[in-house]
Structure 1
Amino acid sequence: MDRTLHFLLLFCLQRFNGERSLSAVYHLLSGKKSAQTLQDSKWFRLEKLFGAYKDVSGYELEKAAAELMTDQCLSLVGDRSYVLTEKGDEQLERWLPSARFLQHLNGFLYHSVDTLFWYRLSLFVQTISNLVHKCRFEPIHRHEATFEWVKRYIFSQKRTASEWAHALYNELVDLLTALSDEEAEMLTLRLTSFERIGWTNEQLAAFFNKDSLYIQLMLQHVLHYMMERLVRDAASFPILHALARDLVSPVSLTRSAQKTYEWLQSQKDIEEIARIRGLKRSTIEDHIVEIAANVPGFSIEPFVDEKTRRNVMKATKELGTKQLRKIREAVGDHVSYFEIRLILAKAGEAGES
């Protein structure tokens, strides 16, 4: 696991550039759905890795950071904050070409649903395979909701087992054609059929001579590619599209921010929403920053004027930082921290730098 974890840590810390601590890396990789972590993933262009390693422990990251310090790849610049050394930058560049999982990985959109999509896909494949061969079988997953979903889906259409199998096979082949042979093989070996139990990540790691975290990320990358493609091109994959269509949401907001967003759409201002919801103004401001970072097309014009926006973006670029205090010192105290955060959040959503 060390090499892949070291890569993830270097990748995140290079983007954070000393402006966030090791805790921010932990919250990002584990997928903590707080306003700050969601904003960080946008501001520092780390959406791909949001929730990508849900089981990561703080101890693992501390150990990896210590090892990278020993290897002179990291330099400590504050309380648990690091920057990459020249050697660290070179190491990251050497490892980047082999990190193929970054191509389609999109933890920000899919981290909370990729497991459920996998449950559906794997149980569906197992069920169809056994129906064709008229075999009784033990479901590969003990997940009652998935079992009921697959059963309802199969009974909802008038197809024979062989018709299901033929159509499913053709869709899977078409879908996986865009991937490398290794990626397609990883997914195929992971699936269970009537005659073979799917391999574990550890078995795949031994077979491909990789660490298990690399295998985990590669499989997530494949599943995220599949979900994105199925939603985008539903007509070409009618069977598989059904597995993903109710799982994928284009917007990822915390529950409380979603409520604030609904009130904003009802033309309520910050003070009204704070009063209605019984929350502090600062909490509603946090929600608006989160909304700006995550909702395409959300306008910040009601909250900040264009001149201020340009000045903040100019200062951010010239200073080479996203530290709010330094930006405010540059643009003046008349600009609030809320306005600066809002501008940075919207810039991150729009892909500006």
Structure 2
Amino acid sequence: MIDKLNGERSVQGCYYILTGKKSGQAIQDTTLFGFQNWYGALPHLERSSFDSCVQQLKQENKVVSVDASKASYVTIQPAYYADVIQQWKSLDLAQRSGLQSTSLPATQVFTFWRRLQLWMQVCSHHINEHASFQPIVSDLESKMWVKEKWRRTQDKVEGIRRFKGALRDVFEQCTDPLFPSLCVSRLTGYGVAGRTFQQLEQLYDLPEAVLRLFWLQGARECMQHAKSHPDLQPFAKVEEGDGVLKDKHVGLTLSAFETLKYLDQGFDLQAIAYKRGLKVSTIEDHVVEIASKNPSFSVQPFLPSEVLERILNVSQKLKTKKLSVIKTELGSQVTYLQIRLALVKEAIRHVHKPIS
């Protein structure tokens, strides 16, 4: 992530993306730098742990500050870069962590997995005629979903048999043998406790954060395959949850969706801010979020084509995505909103260059 940000965002930006912070900057940079699959991937990552890792990298001289006045803006130390690339290749990190692809958001995958995990636990205890157990999932929505599906399953034994077969089919379709191994290791059943990531860290001799990203990509692949499997489709049908809507405006926060409804009615940004009791800058964040999540959303009312071209020319000429640098170059000709929209639309239009 530090390599892709290239000193143009603070290292804290990585933390906000990984934990899924619902801020305009984090959502914008997720699209701008190609981190769609990592947004919200580590929602419980402690800030102290993250800061400790960054500090260790600095002490080992593996990352360096862009300049003395901006200690939080770092890049990879050139002498260490070759080692980083070798690590990426040896572990196939780009593929296994999902960095090279854009598909299902982490929030959807987590919902799918909670359902699958709890269903497996219910089935396992039913087979062993043990009705009382402590649910592995604490999420109330997932509990209610599984409870209702179990109630509707008339032939329990046949339903369990079909589920086991479907799960086997999905695992066999995974592109990497590590994925089903990690996913199975996390499942809990009668007399069998799923392994924690700390235990997996010792087993695979890999950092916990890396294993979490690998597991997430494995669960993401499983969910993708489950969508086309008749016995697993219900698990993968995630309509809404985790504060986002999952209709044609995929991934929007509820607040951004409210702004979109006003935009569809023809209100300008100032009017929307007044009606919603929010700052205009907040509404602008929503516009950038909408543009980043919905490729068909037209930015023409905010960004005329000639302004778009001007911004992209400067960005390419200066080899930067840093808003302040582009704004300094163009001055009053453009607004920050226009720069943000131009960069986001350009990022969506092009396939991000994979790390190699």
Common fold by TM > 0.5: yes
- The corresponding residue for 1:287 is 286
Pairing 1:1-353 to 2, within 5 Å after superposition: 12-77=1-66, 78-97=70-89, 98=91, 99=93, 100-103=95-98, 109-141=104-136, 143=138, 144-158=140-154, 160-179=155-174, 180-231=176-227, 233=228, 237-247=229-239, 249=246, 251-351=250-350
Deviations 1:147-180 (A, max 9, x none): 332121022243x233112211221111111223
Cα distance, 1:240 vs. partner?
A: 1.7
State the one-letter code of the partner of 1:338. Answer: L
Structure 1: unaligned runs, 5 residues or longer: 1-11
Aligned equivalents of 2:157, 2:117: Cα separation in 1: 18
State the one-letter code of the partner of 1:75. Answer: V
Distance 1:251 1:327, change over 3 A: same
**The structure with more helix, counted as a fraction of residues:** 1
SS in structure 1 at match of 2:85: helix
Distance 1:204 1:138, change over 3 A: same
TM-score by length of 2: 0.85
TM-score by length of 1: 0.86
Aligned equivalents of 1:108, 1:79: Cα separation in 2: 34
Percent sequence identity is 26
Deviations 1:278-337 (A, max 9, x none): 334333222212211121210111222111111111111111111223213334522222
SS in structure 2 at match of 1:341: helix
Cα distance, 1:83 vs. partner?
A: 1.1
**Does the 8 Å CA contact 1:73/1:85 hold for their aligned counterparts?**
yes
Cα distance, 1:47 vs. partner?
A: 1.9
**Does the 8 Å CA contact 2:201/2:211 hold for their aligned counterparts?**
yes
Distance 1:36 1:168, change over 3 A: same
Q: How many residues align?
A: 337
Structure 2: unaligned runs, 5 residues or longer: 241-245
Aligned equivalents of 2:168, 2:100: Cα separation in 1: 20
Distance 1:267 1:351, change over 3 A: same
Aligned equivalents of 1:153, 1:104: Cα separation in 2: 34
Deviations 1:224-245 (A, max 9, x none): 22223333x2xxx223221121
